[in-house]
Amino acid sequence: MQYFETRIVGFIVVGLFIVLSLVWSFSEESKAVVECPATKPHRPSTYHSHKATLSKILHSEDFRNASVEKLQAAIRTRTEVYDDDPILVEDDFTYWSKFEKFEQLLKSTFPLFYSKTSLHKVNYHGLVYIWEGSDSSLKPLVLMAHQDTVPVSNLTLSQWKHDPFSGDYDGENVYGRGIADCKDQLIGLLEAAEELISNEFSPRRTIIYSFGFDEEVGGPRNKNAEWLEQKFGKDSMYAVLDEGGVNLDTIQGVKMSVPGTAEKGYMDLKIILETPGGHSSIPPRHTSIGIMGEMIVELEKSEFPTYFTKHNPAFWEYVCVAEHSPEMPSSVKKSILSAGHDQKANEIARNYIDVDLGKGFVVKSTRAIDIITGGVKANALPEYVELTMNVRIAMEETVDTVVDRIIATIEPVVDKYHLGLASDFNGRQELKPSRPAGNCLLKVVQAFPPAPLTPTQGNHWDIFSGTIHHVYEDLVAPDSTGLIVAPGIGSGNTDTKYYWNLTKHIYRYRPGLLPGVYSKEHGINEYIPMDSHLHLIVFYYEYILSVDETDD
Ligand SMILES: [Zn+2]
């Protein structure tokens, strides 16, 4: 008995010790200060046989001038799209024929590329080129860009220093609509391919080039991804690379490349208010326009909650900034690095990004009230008012959570004026019965959730981030160091939203000298530095070589 008691006590003591040490080590681990994930240069093993070509791309005057001409031709072949374009290409073949011309330009400019690839036109003007690899067991790499551009408003023409469709080159920069978003990328991809072919490269891994033609209006006609999924199946691609991200920006004194490894969700939502009409000589105290005004005040007063979590890749971006910045206040640095386990620190980090840096869109959902219509005549009460708002959904939220929040925000106004309330989201729902005083309807026009997170650990990420390091630290600026490559969040959306089924490795990244916003994308005097374009070609060239070597 004595013996057994001793054994039992012994077991209890040992068991307790194990449990306590597990709890202790777990809490130590979860309380550990997070670190900026290290990335390092990666170059293809065949680098030396391509070095001369890479150097030519970056430094040869002839190559540069030939490249300028290709960009100019792309700018001069206009491909603007508008929100009210005919949805079906069949409805107006003539209207859409500008993309026919653009494709003809590509064909005449890139003969080697055309000789090695097969072109599949999807929904008439979506271009999918397949460059067949020798090893069909390897998943294809998908490289993307879009052919279309936003238009130029006639009202701003006088402010353009260069005709927006001339493709002017002043020896340093190329100007024109779409040069930065993203004809430079499309042309650069094909220039890299031509150089690879000239250099006897033929891929083991199939490479697919996929160019949509209506990205700037949300891509409703883009069926490229659907076509690829039908042909190759789900999760059939090695990786997808499209526009986006931030390159070589200095953030709080840290030189950074921040490819987008996720994208916020998107929603267009209408709030429609219908109230009885009548003569304006005997009006109610508030018309539907007045009530809508009150709703707008409430909507703009109410902010979405902020988050600073690992669901958002910007978490790592700011961890990297905190770790390396010579400018960020040390108390903020400490908070950002402890934000993963310390609630107070997390709040400080969120407020710093939201309020101090004015970058609330990084850490929360946002809404913008963009269109309002209502009323028809000065002496008639408005019977119908419609408001359109655009919502960008944080990684931590869903379409449902933001719709619920908007409903909760306008509900007190609905109650105050004794209105009915309905929502057409998830099938039409009556939230409050229809009332004689009027009715309010929430209508979700289009919505998609935040993008899945691209993994930023493992071989795929190492090759991708490593190529950025190698291009910028060894080729463009030899022996330079200090570039931090960190994952980030795309606040805007790209055509990649259609590619989620094809791979989890989706990178939104445009190599080059300037983050898009400084290139006046969509704006007046849009331009790119020519050097920037050459960097882009070198990046694609090297990335293709490295991806071709790996067996992943
Ligand atoms: Zn774009």
Instruction: List pLDDT tens digits, range 342-358.
Output: 999 999 999 999 999 99
Q: Are 486 and 258 in contact (CB under 8 A)?
A: yes
Report the alpha-carbon distance of residue 49 to residue 44 in Å, rounded.
10
Nearest to 102 by CA among 122, 78, 66, 130: 78
* Residues measured by CB to lie within 5 Å of ligand 1, the ion: 181-182, 243
Q: CATH 3.30.70.360 in the chain: give the residue spans.
A: 264-448
In the reported structure, the alpha carbon of residue 54 is separated from the centroid of ligand 1 by a whole-number distance in angstroms of 26
Is 146 annotated among the ligand-binding residues? yes
Instruction: List pLDDT tens digits, range 75-104.
Output: 999 999 998 999 999 999 999 999 999 999
- Predicted confidence (pLDDT) at residue 24 exceeds the cutoff of 50: no
In the reported structure, the alpha carbon of residue 205 is separated from the centroid of ligand 1 by a whole-number distance in angstroms of 26
Q: Which residues are catalytic?
A: 148, 215
Percent residues over pLDDT 70 in the chain: 93
**Six-digit token string for 246:** 């931030």
In the reported structure, the alpha carbon of residue 215 is separated from the centroid of ligand 1 by a whole-number distance in angstroms of 7
Instruction: List pLDDT tens digits, range 407-446.
Output: 999 999 999 999 999 999 878 899 999 999 999 999 999 9
- Predicted confidence (pLDDT) at residue 66 exceeds the cutoff of 60: yes
In the reported structure, the alpha carbon of residue 180 is separated from the centroid of ligand 1 by a whole-number distance in angstroms of 8
In the reported structure, the alpha carbon of residue 139 is separated from the centroid of ligand 1 by a whole-number distance in angstroms of 26
143 phi and psi angles, rounded to 5 deg: -115, 130
Q: Are 176 and 526 in contact (CB under 8 A)?
A: yes
Report the alpha-carbon distance of residue 277 to residue 115 in Å, rounded.
66
In the reported structure, the alpha carbon of residue 547 is separated from the centroid of ligand 1 by a whole-number distance in angstroms of 24
Report the alpha-carbon distance of residue 477 to residue 348 in Å, rounded.
37
Residue 366: pLDDT band (50, 70, 90) is very high
Nearest to 493 by CA among 361, 381, 340, 376: 361
Is 548 annotated among the ligand-binding residues? no
**Average pLDDT of span 473-502:** 90
In the reported structure, the alpha carbon of residue 429 is separated from the centroid of ligand 1 by a whole-number distance in angstroms of 36
* Domain 264-448 listed as CATH 3.30.70.360: yes
Q: CATH 3.40.630.10 in the chain: give the residue spans.
A: 55-245+492-549
Superfamily of domain 55-245+492-549: Zn peptidases (3.40.630.10)
Report the alpha-carbon distance of residue 215 to residue 146 in Å, rounded.
6
Instruction: List pLDDT tens digits, range 186-198.
Output: 999 999 999 999 9
Is 522 annotated among the ligand-binding residues? yes
- Predicted confidence (pLDDT) at residue 479 exceeds the cutoff of 80: no
For the ranges 17-21, 398-402, 410-414, 521-525, which has the lowest average pLDDT? 17-21
Structure ipTM: 0.96
